[in-house]
Amino acid sequence: MGTFVLVHGAWHGAWCWERVRKHLTARGHQVVTPELPSDVAGSGRAEYLAAVSDALESRSEVVLVAHSMSGLVAPLATGNPAVKSLILLAALVPRPEVAWQANGLEPFPEQMRGRLARMNFDELGRSTLDPAVATEIFYHDCTPADSADAVARLRPDASVIYQQTCPALPERRVPTTYVSCRQDRAVDGKWNAAVAQDVLGADVQELDAGHSPFWSMPERLGNLLVDLATR
């Protein structure tokens, strides 16, 4: 049985993987869900990478899965010999020596571009999302009850990582797959998949889901992760 380290994206927390965790552990896999300090003002790539590294400690043959924002971190963790393969799920993909914000709005679909242009920030400089916006962007393909449950758990998000220049990627490379979600309203899967192919040599898979398949179709996503991990 394999070990999966599942890393959450912006505004979310380790809780978002609970449904996938249940499915994977029922099949005998080990699952680790690190909590990124992404709600801590001033935290950025170094702090997020430290949380991922802690999750990898004393482990081996790990399938590292990164959702959305954590795609800016996970490729830098592949230098750790514990990582066997990398799966980028509806993820942002970094380019070495380039800050994410230099991409402008190009990596995002039309629905998200308008929201980013009108993003709200709290007194600590963290971005926040209106519940109705979060439902529309992240959970439009979930039931109303499931959407409300998830949106109620969202938290403010530090914005530092988007301004930080991505360092050189590790020389050690692992098999990488980019999973694009066809109904994604938050991330342009085609744009980011193309970068993943160019920079990481990734294979590309598609899932007919919105941005949050860990919530809308956890069993189907879990099956896909296992399938990709055993190829």
The DSSP line for 105-123 is TTTS-HHHHHHHHT-EE-T
pTM: 0.97
Spatial contact of 86 and 56, defined as CB atoms under 8 Å apart: no
- Backbone φ and ψ of 65, nearest 5°: -115, 125
What is the model's pLDDT at position 155? Answer: 97
- The pLDDT tens digits of the residues spanning 141-171 come to 999 999 999 999 999 999 999 999 999 999 9
Residue 216 confidence class, pLDDT cut points 50, 70, 90: very high
Q: Is the dihedral of CA 131, 184, 190, 223 positive or negative?
A: positive
List of residues 6+ apart from 171 with CB closer than 8 A: 79
What is the model's pLDDT at position 197? Answer: 98
Mean pLDDT, range 114-139, rounded to an integer = 92
- The pLDDT tens digits of the residues spanning 95-110 come to 999 999 999 999 999 8
What is the model's pLDDT at position 55? Answer: 98
Residue 50 confidence class, pLDDT cut points 50, 70, 90: very high
- Backbone φ and ψ of 5, nearest 5°: -110, 115
What is the model's pLDDT at position 143? Answer: 96
- The pLDDT tens digits of the residues spanning 177-188 come to 999 999 999 999
Average pLDDT over the chain reads 96
Compute the CA torsion angle 204, 208, 212, 215 (nearest 10 deg). Answer: -120
Q: What tokens does 12 get?
A: 């979310």
Q: Are strands 62-67 and 83-89 parallel, antiparallel or unpaired?
A: parallel
Query: Does the structure show a pLDDT above 90 at 52?
Result: yes
Q: What tokens does 96 get?
A: 């070495």
Compute the CA torsion angle 137, 140, 146, 150 (nearest 10 deg). Answer: 0
Spatial contact of 31 and 151, defined as CB atoms under 8 Å apart: no
Residue 1 confidence class, pLDDT cut points 50, 70, 90: confident
